[in-house]
């Protein structure tokens, strides 16, 4: 679809809106260049490490080289003796009130949650566990001083295999629980037993979804400044607003005196959705020393102690009739969550369960989740958080089922698609999808790629030893976190809500500031949100300054993750702008002696319907509002409104992806030849931003499928500890992508939008995996798990040949 | 990460550099482009007390034809090799090293003196039957490629000697092929094979095959060479000979490649590299 | 502390004299000592390329160059690419084509691309992709970066890095 068509449709949908979004669009739907970019392309962005304060000290952490050990002794004397070292702290020095937070308390479910201190207490549980904090004058010297801290460890047995960790003879990581099992949790609906009894075929697969990293290119960093009873923390975080109350609680500083600023943040992908030890530790040290304290993560450090994601062993069982009709679906998730539990650690695997029906009419579905601890760094949300795992197991298994039924994988999908719906579809587990048209997305996809043609190419290439395959994925996901009543303490168990805030301040000149409670790290909020607000106030997006990531600037917010920004934060912005527009209409009506209902926004003016020459610009309205000699009786002066929006439901973006790969059967190397993505996130606010999100999302998913892997050896040593071994794809490994959209409005919000930040990642890993299996099928390979490294592919081919691979 | 502290000197002559190196003792290291050494120092896997920077020493740059062979100054960056097609297999292999920025700083001398068996140039030098010239307190000497690489990152260059130039035979009339296998194009070779073939008609007069990352040092695939030398070159004879590419090797396994997989890759890449060298592909 | 060394750097046309520890990385000299914070650090193994600057006209990773090694060298950073408020064609193309999201890799990406175009003014897509293999981006999937470089190549003046006035 061209941008023009997209914007036409978006315009039509926006025009249907009522008070929350009263304006006809002319900026929404346009591929506007980003407002963020001029500073970023000239090197003028301000990331944490670009900020330095007078008197600033530097922090470095002494980290455990052992995966599991008792701390016998810590000798800090040599480090302290250095001239430039101001302090060296160990656990006993810290008077922090509580351990780091974990925010999921599901009603009726026991979650074995160990204390997780800023500095290890008595024992270390993973490589990189911090045992001492060094603070000194010089950026470089603190590294030297950290090396001078001598720690004696008494190694304890290590467990890194989640299945072994559940066995009775396994070393136990936190003895107080007498087990490594953290929790068991299930979600199901429909009659599973009857569904399997009814099935003609049952396919079962063990699908490994390996551990990966967020790997934002900007490492984490913190600058904490406690002075005059106030704490200011600059952090490379996705969640300045959520971080603030925890800093307040852990340090015992009243919340109003804590300010958290997320300046320019160089990517997050979930890895900066966290309350990290380093943030708390630097803030504590700043207060203790009365000086600003800065810490910038090194990449090798980040690979160890910035949270990982995925790491599930999934056992999937699906039953179907001979004609392909799915009758039952049972997934067992064993999640290796690492040695501690961080902000959402044990909750992420459960998120898979909410979309385990995928886009299919599955009548009975059950998901059982077991979380287990091992001597690794904790997992938590990484781009997609639970939904990539769900979609991977669903969509890979769908192809396995098609294989078993000897059926075309797309025919199987079509057979089971939920028919188009626009006002909700309830799945057997009680989740209500907002809107969907899965057939439409798949049909659109097939306008771009012809599977028959690819198969013909494959036949020709095979003569040269190249095995070409095509793979598909049709997906939906759940985002737009979140309706507070569903996710909150008495619902799913998150200790908080899911609303978002926005405030629109029209200054006396007519200039506009939007404060959003979301906190971007690359998504382009400043542009997209400006488009939304501008259209509602009859101004140009350039006139809307979008302020974010500063807890002192606007109302409290809930930040950016889970593809929630537009569907929740954008809606809040639209509502706040709508309130301003409503007040403006009243002022205009009063001044022009018209009925407010007759005031319309037309070509940048609030004018009287039918008399377009009678009207006022926003700037004139602002003048009237702040010099209020002629506003309606009883109206308060000013033009400054805010909104706290709590959505009624999640939103459920969907789409269809296809990938073509070439496999060199001799070496096992995979080349991604084409990647086509059709995504539906409702009407586009800015189609350029959507494409960008999809492109990046795809590479994150392709990266997991083919290149990226966090790997610990049996001793708990991190083998992939830098960008040398943790193989992010480069431009040279990736093709250009073909993207398109369908636009199915969501009934949930007035913008009719859904999130798109994670969609590409959610769809990509099964798409690629299915393509590789398709390519290898002529060689006898019918299933393979990620990561699809050349060696693993080669080994699979050898095994299929009946040969012995090492 | 940050390197540990060290002292630094940038002498302006070769003699001064040799003297500084000698004075520095065993904790002194030479610094060329720094793209092998500095990463190790930043991760604190190396911590020399003194760096002797060769950047001001004259005469260490450039590519010249001399006495029927090529003389390449030790401080010549990989980029310059890459853009010197007359160097044949050297140019091709240099163009595959890491990425453009690394090739702009990394030097041929630094790479060879580092002696990493996973680096591209050592096995190419070996296949090309090249040599390096080193100069130390005792004067100048040449070390042939066959004698240069002693063990994992250990060379025959004395700690007090400076590698000043690389010499490779002209290789006029030789065909070459370079096949490097890695997961990403910026990665080190999982395995690479360099092949040089001199043929008259379809008869293989001379053949040399170098193996990268198949052991603790770069290797020659002697059995392959033996199988082809003096024999007709065809797709079949090459395929048959390449089956012996891993003979006698015991490459160390890592996360991405088992010993068996590396040995398999060596055979496949050897066949492909020889095919290129013989003009069959 | 090891003894410091006097270093002179010509950054974006201006001369800067510094006394530095030998171990000071060029990237930190530029950022912390001279305030050119547009050059970023994303890894410690010279993989990510966020620290790419031009040194004597060639793209280098300034996290793997010692400041002392750059003594006397001409350095161009991202701050030197636009002049008199006029964006370099690559900057303009990155903006037009949405070639950046979080912006952290962008300065290094633009500097690598500028070096690529200086050497190869009319690259193919494949040449652009390989020319940028030393720069990691996690946001864009590279699609729009590659598009921007190809588009910039069509623009007059893209193949030369800005040569700022010497204002020393």
Residue C29 lies in a domain: yes
Residues of B in contact with A297 (CB under 8 A): none
CATH number of residue C25's parent domain = 3.10.20.30
For chain C, the straight-line distance linking the first and the last C-alpha, in angstroms and rounded, comes to 31
- Vertex B84: Cα angle to B15 and B183 (nearest 5): 100
Q: Does A800 touch chain B (CB under 8 A)?
A: no
Q: Where in chain A is the domain with CATH 3.90.1170.50?
A: 48-156+220-296
Instruction: Collect all residues of chain A within an 8 Å Cβ-Cβ radius of residue B184.
Output: 707, 727, 729-730, 732-733
Question: Can you give the pLDDT at residue B1?
Answer: 83
pLDDT at residue C136 above 70? yes
- Look at B186 and A711 and tell me if their CB atoms are within 8 Å: no
Q: Kindly state the tokens that stand for A640.
A: 């400054």
pLDDT tier at C161 (50, 70, 90 boundaries)?
Answer: low
Low-confidence ranges of chain A (pLDDT < 50): 1-23, 805-806
Asked if residue B242 lies in contact with residue B154, where contact means CB atoms within 8 angstroms, the answer is no
Same-domain status, C71 and C117:
no
Residue in A552, A93, A146 with CA at minimum distance from that of residue A287: A93
A792 — contact with chain B (CB < 8 Å)? no
For CA atoms A403, A405, A407, A409, give the dihedral sign.
Answer: negative
Last residue of a domain, one of C80, C105, C135: C80
Dihedral of alpha carbons C87, C93, C96, C102, sign: negative
C-beta atoms of C125 and A522 within 8 A:
no
**Same domain for C61 and C36?**
yes
Q: What is the DSSP letter of A479?
A: B
pTM given for the model: 0.96
Is B261 in CB contact (< 8 Å) with chain A?
A: yes
**Three-class HEC string of chain B:** CCCCCCEEECCCCHHHHHHHHHHHHHHEEEECCCCCHHHHHHCCCCCCCEEEECCCCCCCCCEEEECCEEEEECCCEHHHHHCCHHHCHHHHHHCCCCCHHHHHHCEHHHHHHHCCCCCHHHHHHHHHCCEEEEEECCEEEEEEHHHHEEECCEECCCCCCEEEEEEEECCCCCEEEEEEECCCCCCCCCEEEEEEEEEECCEEEEEEEEEECCCCCCEECHHHHHHHCCCECCHHHHHHHHCCCCCCCCCCCECCECHHHHHHHHHHHHHHHHHHHCCCC
Examine the domain organization and report whether C74 and C96 are in the same domain. Answer: no
C-alpha to C-alpha distances, C34 to A106, A211, B187, C66, nearest whole angstrom: 52, 40, 33, 15
Largest CA distance in chain C: 51
Q: Rounded to an integer, what distance in angstroms lies between the CA atom of residue A559 and that of residue A757?
A: 14
Q: Is C50 touching B (CB cutoff 8 A)?
A: no
Residues C62 and C43 both lie in one domain: yes
pLDDT of residue A16: 39
Report CA-CA distances (Å) from C157 to A88, A785, B140, C129. 54, 48, 49, 21
Cβ(A239)–Cβ(A273) under 8 Å? Answer: yes
- H or E stretch at A299: helix A299-305
pLDDT for res C42: 98
Cα A17 from Cα A368, distance rounded (Å): 42
Instruction: Give the bridge partners for A664, in sequence order.
Output: A466
**Token pair recorded at residue A447:** 């306008």
Using CB atoms, which residue from A143, A666, A707 is nearest to B183? A707
Contact at 8 Å (CB) between A20 and A573? no
Domain boundary among C80, C101, C129: C80
Distance of CA C161 to the CA centre of its chain: 10
Mark whether C148 and C105 lie in a shared domain: yes
Which regions of chain A carry the CATH code 3.30.365.10? 308-481+649-800, 499-645
ipTM score for this prediction: 0.96
Answer yes or no: do A806 and B181 touch at CB < 8 A.
Answer: no
Distance of alpha carbon B203 from alpha carbon B206, whole angstroms? 9
Percent of chain B with pLDDT over 70: 100
Q: A48-156+220-296: which CATH topology? A: Aldehyde Oxidoreductase; domain 3 (3.90.1170)
CB B115 within 8 A of CB B153: yes
Q: C29 and C95: one domain?
A: no
Domain annotation for chain B: domains and CATH numbers = 7-53 (3.30.43.10), 63-169 (3.30.465.10), 175-277 (3.30.390.50)
- Tell me, yes or no, if A465 comes closer than 8 A to chain B by beta carbon: no
Q: Which residues pair with A57 in a beta bridge?
A: A293
| Predicted pLDDT of residue C2 | 74
Give the distance from residue A298's alpha carbon to the nearest chain C alpha carbon, in angstroms: 7
Place of tokens 């004075």: B23
- Do A561 and A238 meet the contact criterion of CB atoms below 8 Å apart? yes
Q: Provide the pairing of β-strand B28-31 with B50-53.
A: parallel
At residue A131, φ and ψ (nearest 5 deg) are -115, -20
Angle formed by the axes of helices A409-416 and A387-405, to 10°? 110
* pLDDT beyond 80 at C159: no
Best probe of the C interface among B27, B100, B183, by most C CBs < 10 A, is B100
Say whether pLDDT at C162 is over 60.
no
- A308-481+649-800 CATH: 3.30.365.10
A58, A294 Cβ separation under 8 angstroms: yes
The token pair at A3 is: 């941008």
DSSP A2: -
Residue C106 lies in a domain: yes
Residue C45: its pLDDT value, please? 94
Nearest alpha carbon to residue A695 among B146, B280, C147, B154: C147
Q: Enumerate residues 6+ apart whose C-beta is below 8 A from A727.
A: A703, A707, A708, A709, B183, B184, B187
Strands (E), chain C: 5-11, 14-20, 52-55, 58-61, 74-76
Please determine, looking at this structure, whether the domain spanning A499-645 carries the CATH number 3.40.718.10: no
b/e sequence A145-163, b meaning 16+ C-beta within 10 Å: bbbbbebebeebebbbebe
Phi/psi at B3 (5° precision)? -65, 155
| Chain B residues in contact with chain C using a Cβ-Cβ cutoff of 8 Å | 1-8, 10, 31, 34-35, 38-39, 41-43, 51, 53, 55, 79, 98-102, 104-105, 184-186
Given C80, C115, C143, the domain boundary residue is C80
Pairing label, strands A221-227, A201-213: unpaired
Q: Which of A49, A217, A523 sits opposite C138 (nearest CB)?
A: A217
Backbone angles phi, psi at A530, to 5 degrees: -65, -35
Q: Are C126 and A735 in contact (CB under 8 A)?
A: no
- Count CA atoms within 13 Å of residue A778 on its CB side: 17
Residue A125 token pair: 């549980």
Can you give the pLDDT at residue B32? 97
DSSP for residue A521: S
Would you give the distance in Å from CA A318 to the centre of its chain?
28
Percent of the residues in chain B that have a pLDDT greater than 90, as a whole number: 98
Report whether pLDDT(C164) > 60. no
Both tokens of residue C107? Answer: 């300065």
Q: Measured between alpha carbons, how far is A260 from A245 in angstroms, rounded to an integer?
A: 10
Is residue A12 exposed (0-12), middle (13-18) or buried (19+ Cβ within 10 Å)? Answer: middle
Q: Are residues C60 and C124 in the same domain?
A: no
What b-and-e string marks burial along A578-609, b requiring 16 or more CB atoms within 10 Å of the CB? bbbbbbbbbbbbbbbebebeebbbeebbbbbe
Maximum CA pair distance of chain A?
A: 90
CB atoms within 10 A of CB A610: 9
Domain CATH number, residue C126: 1.10.150.120
Residue A464 is predicted with a pLDDT of 87
Q: Which residues contact C13 (CB under 8 A, 6 or more apart)?
A: C80, C163, C164, C165, C166, C167, C168
pLDDT at A45: 97
Task: Determine the 3-state secondary structure of A226 from DSSP.
Answer: strand
Residue C138 lies in a domain: yes
**Low pLDDT (below 70) residues in chain B:** none
The answer on C64 and C101 residing in a single domain is no
Question: CA-based angle A503:A507:A511, to the nearest 5?
Answer: 95
Provide the residue range defining the domain that includes C73.
Answer: 5-80
Report percent pLDDT > 70 for chain C.
Answer: 92
Asked whether B213 and B118 are in contact (CB, 8 A), the reply is yes
Whether A723 sits inside 8 A of C138 (CB atoms) is: no
**Best residue in B53, B61, B99, B107 for a mutation probing chain C (most C CBs within 10 Å):** B99
Do C97 and C76 belong to one domain? no
- How many structural domains comprise chain C? 2
Residue A426 CA, chain-centre distance (Å), reads 25
Instruction: Kindly tell me if the per-residue pLDDT of C123 is higher than 50.
Output: yes
Alpha-helical runs (H) found in A374-518: 387-405, 409-416, 438-448, 451-462, 484-487
User: With the CA atoms of A618, A623, A627 and A632 taken in that order, what torsion angle do they form, in degrees rounded to the nearest 10?
Assistant: -30
């Amino acid at each position: 679809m061209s941008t023009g068509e997209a914007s036409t449709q978006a315009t039509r949908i926006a025009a249907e809106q009522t008070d929350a979004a009263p304006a006809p669009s002319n900026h929404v739907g346009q591929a506007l260049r980003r407002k963020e970019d001029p500073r970023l392309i000239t090197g003028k962005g301000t990331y944490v490490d670009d900020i330095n304060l007078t008197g600033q000290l530097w922090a470095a952490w002494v980290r455990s080289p052992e995966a599991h050990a008792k701390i016998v002794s810590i000798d800090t004397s040599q480090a302290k003796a250095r001239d430039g070292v101001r302090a060296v702290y160990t656990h006993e020095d810290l008077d922090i009130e509580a351990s780091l937070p974990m925010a999921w308390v599901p009603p009726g479910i026991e979650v074995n949650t160990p204390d997780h201190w800023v500095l290890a207490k008595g024992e270390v549980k993973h490589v990189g566990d911090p045992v001492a904090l060094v603070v000194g004058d010089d950026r470089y010297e603190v590294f030297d001083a950290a090396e001078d801290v001598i720690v004696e460890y008494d190694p304890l047995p290590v467990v890194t295999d989640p299945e072994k960790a559940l066995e009775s003879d396994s070393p136990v990581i936190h003895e107080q629980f007498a087990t490594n099992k953290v929790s068991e949790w299930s979600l199901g609906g429909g009659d599973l037993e009857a569904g399997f009894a009814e099935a003609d075929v049952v396919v079962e697969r063990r699908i490994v979804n390996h551990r990966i990293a967020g790997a934002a290119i900007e490492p984490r960093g913190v600058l904490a400044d406690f002075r005059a009873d106030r704490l200011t923390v600059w952090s490379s975080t996705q969640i300045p607003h959520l971080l603030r109350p925890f800093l307040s609680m852990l340090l015992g500083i009243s919340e109003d005196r804590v300010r958290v600023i997320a300046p320019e943040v160089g990517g997050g992908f979930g890895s900066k959705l966290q309350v990290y030890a380093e943030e708390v530790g630097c803030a504590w040290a700043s207060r203790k020393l009365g000086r600003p304290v800065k810490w910038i993560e090194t990449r090798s450090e980040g690979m160890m102690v910035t949270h990982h994601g995925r790491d599930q062993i999934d056992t999937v069982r699906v039953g179907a009739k001979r004609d392909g009709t799915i009758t039952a679906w049972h997934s067992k998730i064993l999640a290796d969550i690492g040695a501690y539990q961080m902000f959402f650690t044990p909750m992420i695997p459960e998120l898979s369960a909410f979309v385990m029906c995928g886009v299919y009419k599955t009548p009975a579905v059950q998901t059982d989740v077991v979380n287990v601890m091992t001597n690794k760094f904790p997992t938590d949300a990484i781009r997609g958080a639970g939904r990539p795992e769900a979609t991977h197991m669903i969509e890979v298994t769908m192809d396995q089922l098609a294989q078993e039924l000897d059926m075309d994988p797309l025919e199987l999908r079509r057979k089971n698609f939920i028919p188009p719906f626009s006002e909700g579809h309830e799945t057997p587990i009680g989740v209500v999808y907002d809107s969907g048209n899965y057939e439409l997305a798949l049909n659109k996809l097939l306008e771009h790629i012809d599977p028959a043609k690819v198969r013909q190419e494959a036949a020709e290439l095979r003569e040269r030893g190249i095995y070409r395959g095509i793979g598909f994925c049709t997906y939906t996901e759940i985002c737009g976190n979140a309706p507070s009543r569903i996710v909150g303490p008495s619902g799913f168990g998150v200790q908080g809500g899911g609303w978002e805030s926005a405030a629109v301040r029209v200054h006396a000149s007519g200039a506009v500031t939007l404060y959003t409670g979301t906190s971007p790290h690359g998504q382009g909020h400043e542009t997209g949100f400006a488009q939304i607000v501008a259209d509602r106030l009859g101004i140009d997006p350039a006139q809307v300054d979008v302020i974010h990531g500063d807890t002192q600037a606007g109302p409290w917010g809930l930040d950016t993750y889970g593809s929630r920004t537009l569907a929740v934060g954008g809606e809040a912005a639209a509502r706040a702008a709508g309130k301003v527009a409503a007040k403006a209409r009243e002022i205009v009506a009063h001044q022009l002696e018209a009925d407010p209902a007759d005031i319309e926004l037309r070509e940048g003016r609030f004018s009287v319907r039918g008399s377009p020459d009678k009207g006022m610009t926003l700037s004139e309205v602002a003048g009237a509002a702040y010099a209020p000699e002629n506003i309606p009786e009883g109206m308060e002066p000013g033009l400054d409104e805010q909104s706290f929006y709590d959505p009624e439901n999640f939103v459920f973006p969907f789409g269809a992806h296809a990938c073509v790969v070439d496999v060199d059967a001799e070496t096992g190397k995979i080349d991604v030849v084409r990647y086509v993505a059709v995504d539906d996130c409702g009407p586009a606010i800015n189609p350029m931003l959507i494409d960008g999100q999809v492109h990046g999302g795809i590479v994150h998913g392709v990266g997991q499928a083919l290149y990226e892997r966090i790997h610990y050896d049996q001793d708990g040593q991190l083998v992939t500890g830098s960008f040398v071994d943790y193989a992010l794809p480069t431009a040279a490994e990736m093709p250009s992508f073909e993207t398109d959209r369908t636009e199915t409005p969501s009934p949930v919000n007035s913008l009719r939008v859904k999130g798109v930040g994670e969609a590409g990642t959610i769809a990509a890993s099964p798409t690629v995996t299915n393509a590789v299996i398709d390519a290898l099928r002529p060689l006898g390979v019918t299933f393979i798990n990620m990561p699809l490294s050349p060696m693993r592919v080669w080994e699979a081919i050898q095994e299929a040949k009946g040969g012995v691979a090492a | 990460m940050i390197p540990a502290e060290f002292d630094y000197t940038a002498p302006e002559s070769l003699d001064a550099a040799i003297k500084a190196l000698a004075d520095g003792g065993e904790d002194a290291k030479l610094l060329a482009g720094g793209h092998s050494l500095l990463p190790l120092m930043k991760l604190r896997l190396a911590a020399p007390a003194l760096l002797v920077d060769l950047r001001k020493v004259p005469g260490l740059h450039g590519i010249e034809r001399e006495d029927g062979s090529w003389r390449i100054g030790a401080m010549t960056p990989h980029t310059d090799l890459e853009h010197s097609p007359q160097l044949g297999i050297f140019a091709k292999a240099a163009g595959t090293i890491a990425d453009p920025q690394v090739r702009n700083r990394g030097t041929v001398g630094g790479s060879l003196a580092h002696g990493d068996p996973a680096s591209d140039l050592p096995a190419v030098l070996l296949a090309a039957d090249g040599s390096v010239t080193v100069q130390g307190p005792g004067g100048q000497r040449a070390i042939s490629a066959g004698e240069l690489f002693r063990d994992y990152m250990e060379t025959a260059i004395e700690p007090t000697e400076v590698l000043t130039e690389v010499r490779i035979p002209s290789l006029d009339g030789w065909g070459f092929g370079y096949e490097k296998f890695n997961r990403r194009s910026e990665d080190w070779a999982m395995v690479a094979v360099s092949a040089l073939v001199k043929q008259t008609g379809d008869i293989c007069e001379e053949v040399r095959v170098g193996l990268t990352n198949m052991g603790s040092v770069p290797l020659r695939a002697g059995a392959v060479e033996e199988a082809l030398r003096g024999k007709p070159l065809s797709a079949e004879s090459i395929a048959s000979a390449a089956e012996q590419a891993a003979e006698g090797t015991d490459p160390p396994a890592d996360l991405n490649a088992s010993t068996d997989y590396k040995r398999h890759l060596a055979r496949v890449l050897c066949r492909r590299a020889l095919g290129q060298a013989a003009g069959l592909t | 502390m090891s003894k410091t060394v006097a270093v002179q750097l010509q950054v974006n046309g201006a001369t800067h004299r510094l006394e530095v520890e030998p171990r000071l990385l060029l990237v930190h000299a530029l950022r912390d000592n001279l305030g050119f914070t547009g050059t970023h650090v994303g890894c410690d193994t010279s993989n990510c390329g966020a620290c790419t600057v031009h040194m004597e006209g060639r793209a280098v990773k300034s996290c793997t160059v010692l400041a002392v090694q750059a003594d006397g060298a001409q350095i161009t950073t991202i701050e030197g690419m636009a002049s008199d408020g006029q964006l370099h064609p690559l900057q303009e193309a990155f903006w037009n084509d949405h070639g950046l999201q979080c912006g952290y890799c962008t300065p290094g990406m633009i500097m690598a691309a500028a070096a690529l175009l200086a050497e190869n003014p009319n690259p193919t897509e494949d040449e652009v992709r390989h020319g940028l293999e030393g720069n990691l981006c996690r946001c864009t999937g590279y699609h729009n970066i590659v598009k921007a470089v190809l588009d910039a190549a069509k623009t007059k003046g893209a193949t030369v890095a800005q040569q700022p006035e010497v204002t020393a």
